[in-house]
Structure 1
Amino acid sequence: MQTKHSASPLRIGTRGSALALAQAHETRDRLMRAHGLAEDAFEIVVIKTSGDRIQDRPLSEVGGKGLFTKEIEAAMLEGGIDIAVHSSKDMPTVLPEGLDLVAFLPREDVRDAFISHKAARLQDLPHGAVVGSSSLRRQAMIKRLRPDIDVVMYRGNVQTRLQKLADGVVDATLLAHAGLKRLGLGEVVTSVIGTDEFLPAVGQGAICIEARVDDARTRDLLAAIHHAETETCLVAERAFLRVLDGSCRTPIGGLARLVEGELRFAGLILTPDGRTQHETTRVGAPADAEAIGRDAGAELKRRGGPGFFSG
């Protein structure tokens, strides 16, 4: 396939963590196979983000999800990179003008993984155990299931969190199963938590690729690796989150699946202490994904009422 990238490499922007790099390499490798291109047709450009630099505070206190994307998006708008590879769950629901999510890779396992040297499951941890998590969703769900457990803020990349666990800083942690599998670390998982027990974050397990709206050639290149089913599910989930104004400050779970030609959606909001929750489900046509997500979000926003997340 002859593209502008035949002469100059397609520049792939990414964060520098091992997981982010694994996702960028997966994207590159899929493009190489799809178009018969050599590795030198691509350049992986590592960009340090605010979210990577700030390790001592919860993201909810310093700006939320955009901290993992804004520097990368700025580089794309300035022409420094051609595409950006992200974890979908890190993406704000509103993107900068001129940028769009133009491709999704086939989704990995959406579930959360429980990792501990002290117990086989979260339910089996001893009374007063300490669990580390940086996710408000996971924190609230842990407290809902085990209000006696002490949940502490736990920042850092996957390797850092696993090392803290090995050092005994915490008794257990929860991480996305998809990320561990992409890193070849599946063997560290003690048990995998079903989605009926822990509804995942919106976009969990899905890699998305962002590009400039006006870059038709790059969009055409990406079309060959785009997974339409993942996009349909993410359209519903992101519409749900957008209605709730979801950010790192709100414990929200949302999951859409395509089952026998139907879109099945489940959504959940919780108070940070896990004591109060509202859930909803929807079944509809895949073509109505955005409306389904919006409708579910509106229902939970109404049921939660004003000030729900500050409780």
Structure 2
Amino acid sequence: MKPLIIGSRGSRLALIQTQLIVDSLKKEYPLLDIQIRVIKTTGDHLEEQPIRDIDQRGIFTKEIENKLLEGEIDLAVHSLKDLQVELHPRLVIAAIPPREDPRDCWISLQHPHPSSLQTGAIVVTGSPRRANQLLRKRPDLRIVPVRGNVESRLRKLRENREWQGTVLALAGIKRLGIDISSFFCTPLSMDWMLPAPGQGALALQARVEDKHTQSLVKHLNDFSTACAVTAERVFLHELGGGCRTAVGARAEVEGSRLILEGIWWPQQAIEPKEGKVVGEIHRAEELGKKLADLLKNL
């Protein structure tokens, strides 16, 4: 049997996430030869440049998708929040494994929560979604853009004592397993911070015609996670969103019901539009569209 070649970004977090998939596949197929191929993306090359200044979609995924299309890899492992909603017609999401905690987390050396910050305190984040939601609660804060992986952001926070805190995805902190005992690490409630659509979830991507690879990974798919992130991503897509758009969404599954909350800042808007819809879990796409239409018409 030929080896299964998996494409991944080269960051420590990306490789840990890819190794999780490798380990899961090895449990099912102990004799399968699996190889990881590291692929550098535009987002990796432009690590210090603010995302809002990069005029390109798919900055963390496009090069990996190209290698998949060219047949150099068989499977791609992506952070789902980085993956474009509209896929290339020859590519398919073959599986979405169970999701890690989707919440954002407040990180600070001195302050347990952004509500305790003094007026004018500097918070660093490169995400318009995070910045807008922080300023909605605390319009007196100063937001300074920052980029880089989790470790580099924590290092910068330690080194620059003028910076009072930042916001990171809790899933990344958990998967990295890094020691953050010197920091306050406070998960933010949904009334403070709705996460990025798809945050905490992984996407396993394959070629449409490669039924063999699709069959290898289909057992890794988690139905509830897939429905939840589908609703979130359709909501984002209907609003024309991407990394530079201030859109937050969280879908939760309760039995056969799906509850989708969303928040959106239209371009140049000072105040957001927000709402919630509830429906049957198998109507995830419809719910995403329904919430987007609701917000557009507010």
TM-score bracket relative to the smaller structure: over 0.9
Instruction: Answer yes or no: is 1:128 the counterpart of 2:123.
Output: no
Residue of structure 1 in register with 2:149 after alignment? 157
Cα separation, 2, equivalents of 1:179 and 1:274: 30
Among 153, 164, 171, the alignment partner of 1:171 is: 164
Alpha-carbon RMSD = 1.6
Residue of structure 2 in register with 1:3 after alignment? none
Among 272, 276, 282, the alignment partner of 2:277 is: 282
Aligned residue runs from structure 1 range 146-225, under 5 A? 146-168=138-160, 170-185=163-178, 187-188=180-181, 189-225=184-220
Cα separation, 1, equivalents of 2:268 and 2:47: 23
CA shift digits 1:1-34 (9 cap, x unpaired): xxxxxx3221110101111011100011111112
Does structure 2 conserve the Cα–Cα contact (< 8 Å) formed by 1:65 and 1:91? Answer: no
- Match for 2:6: what amino acid? I
Instruction: Answer yes or no: is 1:55 the counterpart of 2:54.
Output: no
Cα distance change on mapping 1:114 and 1:148 into 2, 3 Å? same
Residue of structure 1 in register with 2:234 after alignment? 239
Does structure 2 conserve the Cα–Cα contact (< 8 Å) formed by 1:34 and 1:224? Answer: no
Instruction: Answer yes or no: is 1:16 the counterpart of 2:10.
Output: yes
The alignment of Structure 1 onto Structure 2 pairs a total of residues equal to 295
Identity of aligned pairs, percent? 40
Residue of structure 2 in register with 1:78 after alignment? 70
Does structure 2 conserve the Cα–Cα contact (< 8 Å) formed by 1:60 and 1:249? Answer: yes
TM superposition shift of 1:274 = 8.2
Which sections of structure 1, spanning at least 5 residues, go unmatched? 1-6, 304-311
Cα distance change on mapping 1:16 and 1:289 into 2, 3 Å? same
CA shift digits 1:147-169 (9 cap, x unpaired): 11111111001111010001026
Instruction: Answer yes or no: is 1:109 the counterpart of 2:101.
Output: yes
Cα separation, 2, equivalents of 1:33 and 1:144: 46
TM superposition shift of 1:172 = 0.6
Cα separation, 2, equivalents of 1:90 and 1:8: 29
- Match for 2:263: what amino acid? L
Cα separation, 2, equivalents of 1:183 and 1:210: 22
TM superposition shift of 1:93 = 1.2
User: When the two structures are superposed, what TM-score results if normalisation uses the length of structure 1?
Assistant: 0.91
Aligned residue runs from structure 1 range 239-278, under 5 A? 239-270=234-265, 275-278=270-273
Cα separation, 1, equivalents of 2:127 and 2:199: 12
Cα separation, 2, equivalents of 1:107 and 1:61: 30
Cα separation, 1, equivalents of 2:275 and 2:41: 35
Does structure 1 conserve the Cα–Cα contact (< 8 Å) formed by 2:48 and 2:148? Answer: no
Does structure 2 conserve the Cα–Cα contact (< 8 Å) formed by 1:180 and 1:186? Answer: no
Instruction: Answer yes or no: is 1:32 the counterpart of 2:32.
Output: no
TM superposition shift of 1:64 = 4.8
Deviates more, 1:289-298 or 1:166-175: 166-175
- Partner SS state of residue 59, structure 2: helix
Which sections of structure 2, spanning at least 5 residues, go unmatched? none
